[in-house]
Amino acid sequence: MNNETLIKNLRNVPDFPIPGIQFKDVSTLFKNAECLKIMTDELYAMYKDKGITKVVGIESRGFVVGAALAYKLGAGFVMCRKPGKLPADTRKESYMKEYGKDTIEIHSDAITENDVVLLHDDLLATGGSMKAAYNLVKQFNPKQVFINFIIELTIEGLNGRAVFGPEVEMTTLMKI
């Protein structure tokens, strides 16, 4: 898609969170009403005919557009959070990050076998957190799972898309 308005409004933060990283700050897209509308409308067009019943947003930037999209699709919204943030019984999945191990959780009653799930996050780099979220959601045996990102980094060596098999339907709004 690579919408020019989105690209123009995306902030690049050099050397964050560590030297050498060019952080893509989507908060500039969230604060701009036109950009938020473009992202939500484009995602709605992609998924309106897929039968989505739940949108799962990955903490925390995945909550913003994920919740707006769930509303527009007439679907429920599920938060995928870091440990200790959800108050009821949860299922967990751990994964390795560039600088250590992390874990994500979803409430145990958040998804059923009758659900069609869209997993949403802001950015695909190495794919670690989304792969963990995907594995976690698959534990619920939903009818189908789709994956979406606002941005897919195409920097050599990252190739986050490769951690998912060809059976996973994945879309992005921007490849940069």
One of 11, 42, 59, 61 is an active-site residue; which one?
61
Answer whether 153's CB lies under 8 Å from 176's CB: yes
Its pTM surpasses 0.85: yes
- Cα Rg of the chain, angstroms: 16
The tens digit of pLDDT for each residue in 53-103 reads: 999 999 999 999 999 999 999 999 999 999 999 999 999 999 987 667 999
Helix (H, G, I), strand (E, B) or coil at 117: strand
**Per-residue pLDDT, 100:** 78
Q: Is 161 a catalytic residue?
A: no
Q: Is CATH 3.40.50.450 the right assignment for the domain spanning 50-175?
A: no
**pLDDT < 50 positions in the chain:** none
Residue tagged active-site, from 11, 34, 98, 169: 98
pLDDT at 2: 81
pLDDT of residue 165: 87
Which pLDDT score is estimated for 148? 98
User: What's residue 96's pLDDT?
Assistant: 85
Q: 155, exposed or middle or buried, with CB in 10 Å at 0-12, 13-18, 19+? A: exposed
Residue 157 pLDDT: 73
In whole angstroms, what is the distance from residue 69 CA to residue 47 CA? 9
* Average pLDDT of the chain to the nearest whole number: 94
d(CA 134, CA 53): 16
Angle at 59 between CA 4 and CA 8, to 5 degrees: 15
Residue 98 a catalytic site member? yes
DSSP 8-state symbol, 162: G
